[in-house]
Amino acid sequence: MANDTPVNNKITDAVTQSNLTVLGGAPAQSMATAYQMMAQAVGVSMQNAVANQHSMNTIDNAIVSQGIAMLYSIDSVSEVKASQEILSGNANAEIVSALRAIILELKKAQSSQKSDTD
């Protein structure tokens, strides 16, 4: 049937031109898609980084609050001395122990001021 009727040259030229346009635009289209995918991936990575940073800040606040509550809950000098003996040699632990001793002294000073005013 294809041999029965000849196809007009203008029609074949139009079809060829549209095919060439599609083939010529394909590399640009694929690069644009790749750039969009990369931009999306970078955006999601930044969003995840911000969410993780927020979570860590929340955890850090909880840790600091719990540490301060623990420091304020110390009642006796013997606990401070025992903890100093256990944690000696560790610079951070020694700083915490020194803070505990200072807080204990402050508590004693506050209680003595209260008893003086009563």
All structural domains of the chain with their residue ranges: 8-63, 74-118
Percent of the chain with pLDDT over 70: 81
In which band, very low, low, confident or very high, does the pLDDT at 2 lie, cut at 50, 70 and 90? low
Buried b (16+ CB within 10 A) or exposed e, 25-34: eeeeeeeeee
- pLDDT per residue as tens digits for the range 64-95: 888 888 777 766 666 666 666 666 677 777 77
Q: Helical H runs in the chain?
A: 9-72, 77-87, 91-117
Q: Are 84 and 98 in contact (CB under 8 A)?
A: no
Q: Please give the Cα distance from 92 to 79 (Å, whole number).
A: 17
* pTM exceeding the 0.95 threshold for the entire prediction: no
Say what the pLDDT of residue 1 is. 47
Q: Are 84 and 114 in contact (CB under 8 A)?
A: no
